[in-house]
Amino acid sequence: MSNIPRKFVAEPFEYHQEIELRIDSLTNLGIGLGRIDGWVVMVPFALPGELIKAKVYRNRPNYSDADLVEVLEPASERIEPVCKLFGECGGCQYQHMSYDAQLAWKKQQVTEGLERIGGIKVEVHDPIGSPKQFGYRSKLTPHYPKRTPGEFPIGFHRVGTRSQMIDVYNCPIATDEINEALPEARNRVRNEKGKKKGGTLLMRHTLEGVTSKHSDIVSEKVGDLVINFNAGDFFQNNPFALPELVRYVLAEASNSKTTSLVDAYCGSGLFALSAASHFDQVAGVEVSQRAIEWARANAAANHMENVRFIAGQAEAIFEGLEFDGSSTAMIIDPPRSGCDEAFIRQLIDFAPVRLVYVSCDPATQARDLKMLTEDGGYKILKVQPFDLFPQTRHIENVVTLDKA
């Protein structure tokens, strides 16, 4: 075949060879995994238990990649996707699966990740689902390539590629308000003069409506708090599920031993400000000076007098804190990459009696938990996933630990 990729390795399957196999499980990327004579084959959009026909397009050293051609025996959990672009657009992985099944698989993936990466065997509670499974996402960031005359795609990467874009004119997991504003924003990008580079279109829906300007000052209400921040800054993107997550995290941080709270990676201050009425004193720590400025402004706007925010340095993140670790709880909510080793070492030295670790990536969380339990003397009390990202492979996970 003349169109065979130059670097294609024709073992154990020929290029575009069609095979039949039974799918055994899902990977943490949401990809179906099956075996033929012990050889692993990865097939996106195939579900566990299904007998499928697939077409191989790559043989790797330990497994093969294949496209789903036909579902010969569908799983009972298979449903019709809402989005017409599902299977082409790389934004969602689970729209073809019932919501109960999504939650069950996310629980299993958290369990397996803790054991495989962290060496931790512990009970994982059933995930707390999102009140909305569609129309929940309050931030959308479609991408576009180098601009060319006329039409060009504004959307997300095609499944399995880093360079091909799918044109997304409507996204069912985004809020209705974002979808209403999207056509005008797409037209504006296409008609901008003098710009040829690719980029990202911000669509942020907050109390003020929908904006595409990163510098706009926007706000979200969580419980009784109103939090202000710049539209381009990080803030949780499921406002419907966020209040329950915050309530749970604060309940886990509070116990008879804790009178003080440290909110590490505090951002614009959500957890710290929400905790003000639960603790005698609260401190938020963050390396971003702009985030600290927003946190301080939010504390003033919400009349929080027992909360202070510290712009920490990476090498001395807790310098200036006068709290006693034996009566202090700490919330850590790092980026997807998790905590670096220097931070964890400083945390272990500070020795808060209670830890609540919030993570959007259970894999990096499991890595960090291994260090906290083996080197820091912490014991895991509870593991509670929250599904802030329905229809996708992502899951927020909250782990509660005590100093042993």
Q: How far is CA 259 from the centre of its chain?
A: 31
Residue 315 labelled as part of a binding site: no
Return the structure tokens found at 13: 């399957």
Q: Which of 289, 283, 276 is nearest to 318 (CA)?
A: 283
- Contact predicate 50/22, CB 8 Å: yes
Catalytic-role residue among 89, 92, 171, 360: 360
Residue 17 labelled as part of a binding site: no
3-state secondary structure of 251: helix
Q: Which of 293, 251, 296, 281 is nearest to 400 (CA)?
A: 251
Return the structure tokens found at 9: 């390795």
Burial (Cβ within 10 Å: 0-12, 13-18, ≥19) of residue 391? buried
92 carries an active-site annotation = no
Q: How many CB atoms are closer than 10 A to CB 198? A: 13
Element (H, E) at 210: strand 209-211
Residue 14 labelled as part of a binding site: no
Alpha carbon distance 344, 335 (integer Å): 14
Residue 109 labelled as part of a binding site: no
Annotated binding-site residues for S-adenosyl-L-methionine read 236, 265, 286, 333
Give me the active site residues, please. 360
Annotated binding-site residues read 236, 265, 286, 333
